[in-house]
Amino acid sequence: MAGSNAAEHPLGVQHYRELCAASIRALGHQPEAYFQADLLFRNKEQISTPALHTPIHEGSVSSVQRRALADAYAMRFTAHDTEVHTHCRPTDDIERLLFNMLEQLRIESVATYPGMRRNLQQHFAEWIDHSQTSGFSDSHAGILVFTLAVACWTRLNNLDVPLEIDGMIEATRHAIGVEVGAALQKLPRYKHEQARYAGLARIIARGVANMLRGERDSSQAQANQQTRSTLHNLGLVVSDSDAQGGEQMRADDSMAQSRVTVNEANQYRVYSSEYDEEADAADLVRAEKIAQHREHLDELVKQSGINAARCAHVFRQLLADQHLGCWNTSEEFGYLDPSRLGSLIAHPRDYRVFRQEGLRRAPDCHVTLLIDCSGSMKQHAAPLALVCDQLNRILGQAAIGTEVLGFTTRSWNGGRPHKQWRTDGKPAMPGRLNECRHIVFKSAAQQWRRARPGIATLLHTESYKEGLDGEALAWAAERLNTKSAQKKIILLVSDGSPMDTSTHLANGDDYLDRHLQSVIRSIDARADISVCALGLGVDLSNRFRHHYCLDLSRDIQNSTLLEIAELLSTACRGQRASFP
């Protein structure tokens, strides 16, 4: 993999992440592995980050850490038996943290390729530097875990302890040796035998965990909480799910209040749905204003010079499947073709009088365009309306069903639910505090020509307020459930994150974003609906596996729509788009 720091270039981060995913797929023999923002997924299941590694995050880690994390994932897939690990794993909290760390050190020590070994060793050297500069080694718990990791790493890899830390850890290394020295000595002998190694790792984890708790006057549960909170300063990440997907367990979840916040945020709530509404776009705008918007949109279409027929052919080819339903005539065997009987009489030696049932490419697909109608989208109203109008025209010509939905709020800063919440005494974690508005610009039953006035209301930005993306995505998926098409796609068109000021102030800035992520994961786990995103001048790769950034500095042309066609096609196939 490339050695440059991808964080230096905003567009290079996504490409670098793709390289990491490609490395994992090839070296770990995991063809379904891919990164969605900082998280690794396999077959739509989240894979937790290996111990002593930080997740890939733009601008926060070096290129060495990025490469090492990819190699650590790959080795975990190839050199780790989950059943053995789960069977041998301790039940005690701190022992399990240490046991998982020791297992990851073993996995990385058996790396087969020189490049992988170099990446992992360089990363461990950076980890040592970070642990010193972060002040982790100044604490009792920190120096114990730090010394244990260094001692095991050097033994497993047959390396010397770095001179700059040899004196610093000498006393602690001696203390650990007194407690579990015999097991430490045997670790390298069994690093290729996971079961026997795990038995030694349990002994070491128990001994060091007792040392961590030995000087505390608190209960074991309180000691565990304090210790795990300290370990978080080093960035230690482990998982009870053992890299098989599901919830990650980080050292920072020791605080009871943090657990309450996370649990309540995951249980997304609506404080009051009394004032929510679902409306047709044409009912929200005066007829005279709609006519003006349609005239303006027609002028934009004329200036764009989009060839709808050519684009429709490409969409049809990309989204169609082969079906029986046509006849190949003039065949030498098959079913007798009645239309060729005259030819048989005129030319008895001509045997091409049969027909065979053949395959034809026909789409069985439905696309829902879900439009973010928040205030920040006002500046993109013209290209947004043009893309939506022409996409519906093209998809209609390609015999692909479409629906255009939008979402916003009825008020700024909460409206009536927010007032009700204040009257009720402002209870904590109230959930969504605004009036939700879902808009139907074009229903599935409407043809494009009849829906043209409704689509034109996208230019009417007076109703654009705030955005509740997660609820809107769930609403769009619910409407798609009623469609009988084999392929169902939701294309979310947005320019950023969910935003509702009143909800953020009462629940935390990431409340709506976490709900959106939860809805995306739930839809991704389904086999019948695909979801992808079209970012207007923004990269949405941190949320969506399938995404495309629309460059608003360019005019909307045929090539733009064909790139969207490729996005929809890759979403259907469950593959990544080839463009960033």
Q: Is residue 544 part of a domain?
A: yes
Burial-class residue 312 by CB neighbours within 10 Å (0-12, 13-18, 19+): buried
Q: Judge contact between 363 and 321, C-beta under 8 A.
A: yes
| Domain total in the chain | 2
Q: What is the pLDDT of residue 37?
A: 62
Q: Is residue 272 part of a domain?
A: no
Q: Is residue 518 part of a domain?
A: yes
- How confident is the chain (580 residues) per 10-residue block, as mean pLDDT? 40 65 84 74 76 64 79 89 88 85 91 88 86 73 86 90 86 87 89 90 89 61 59 49 36 27 56 88 89 91 86 80 58 73 74 67 78 87 89 86 89 87 88 90 88 89 87 90 84 85 84 86 80 84 81 80 84 51
Q: Is residue 149 part of a domain?
A: yes
DSSP of 225-258:
HHHHHHHHTTT-EE-TTTTSSS--EEGGGG-HHH
Q: What is the pLDDT of residue 321?
A: 62
Do 241 and 371 fall into the same domain? no
Provide the token pair at 443: 């229903």
Do 119 and 52 fall into the same domain? yes
Do 122 and 239 fall into the same domain? yes
Domain boundary among 216, 237, 254: 254
Dist. CA 101–CA 103, nearest whole Å:
5
Do 403 and 513 fall into the same domain? yes
Q: Is residue 266 part of a domain?
A: no
Do 232 and 378 fall into the same domain? no
CA 224 to chain CA centroid, nearest Å: 32
Q: Is residue 120 part of a domain?
A: yes
Do 125 and 66 fall into the same domain? yes
List pLDDT tens digits, range 454-489.
989 899 888 888 889 888 999 998 898 888 877 888
Do 54 and 190 fall into the same domain? yes
Q: Please, what is the Cα angle at 187 between 182 and 188, to 5 degrees?
A: 130
Q: pTM, whole model, 2 decimals?
A: 0.60
Do 34 and 129 fall into the same domain? yes
List pLDDT tens digits, range 488-506.
888 888 887 788 888 888 8
Do 15 and 149 fall into the same domain? yes
Provide the token pair at 72: 């650590």
Domain hosting 563: range is 301-313+364-573
CATH code of the domain covering residue 395:
3.40.50.410
H or E segment and range at residue 119: helix 114-133
Do 94 and 201 fall into the same domain? yes
Q: Judge contact between 255 and 434, C-beta under 8 A.
A: no
Q: Is residue 524 part of a domain?
A: yes
Q: Is residue 145 part of a domain?
A: yes
Q: Judge contact between 430 and 439, C-beta under 8 A.
A: no
Instruction: From residue 454, give the alpha-carbon distance in Å to each of 161, 285, 393, 459, 477.
Output: 70, 9, 13, 10, 21
Q: What is the pLDDT of residue 523?
A: 83
Q: What is the pLDDT of residue 92?
A: 82
Instruction: From residue 465, give the alpha-carbon distance in Å to each of 150, 375, 413, 501, 536.
Output: 54, 5, 9, 11, 17
Do 499 and 399 fall into the same domain? yes
Q: What is the pLDDT of residue 140?
A: 76
Dist. CA 310–CA 434, nearest whole Å:
44
Do 149 and 250 fall into the same domain? yes
Q: Please, what is the Cα angle at 511 between 505 and 514, to 5 degrees?
A: 160
Q: Which residue has the tokens 């696309």?
A: 367
